[in-house]
Amino acid sequence: MSAPVHSQEAAGNTVSFGERFAASDQFDAIFKEGMALVERTAAYLDGAGRREARGLAGPASVLYATESMRLTTRLLELASWLMIRRAQKQGEITAQEARVKRARVKLRVSTRPTHIIGYGELPEGLRRLIDASSALNDRIVRLDRAMEVVVAEAVSAENPVGAQVTRLEEAFAKPRRRAARV
């Protein structure tokens, strides 16, 4: 038995991967995974991580502080992305509003700090959280790129100038930095 054909597909219209993914059980699973990782990380850094950090000396202590800040920053960006996508899914914001908000989120391909001198001296709990956040980050970056490519293609198909207009709107929607006064 074949799957039912959706009306957009039957009509030959572009089907948005982003809309499909955001409405899927897979999105819900990634959302739950991401939020659970945020909670686990907060609990660790406030509890066992704090105790373990006190036992570190010199360079390992500085590395712990650096990597825990990187971990926290990465998780904040991932949580922001997930919350934007969920708000769009639930109809709280439009696709255009989601694109503008998404442009402010700085997703980056994460690098594993395992090559850094002293990384092996960090507590295992922190290293596990770093690995888990990096793996989740990589998945979300791939999803985000796939979702944005499909959106750009759909806009281009509707209007040849549409993709450029969207990029201009996103560029001007970003907050500008003010020049320092002398």
The two structure tokens encoding residue 65: 């502080």
At residue 8, the pLDDT reads 46
Give the C-alpha separation, 3 to 5, whole Å.
Answer: 6
Whether the full predicted model's pTM is greater than 0.85, yes or no, is no
Instruction: Sketch out the chain's domains with CATH numbers.
Output: 15-173 (1.10.8.930)
pLDDT digits (tens, 9 = 90+) for 52-68: 999 999 999 999 999 99
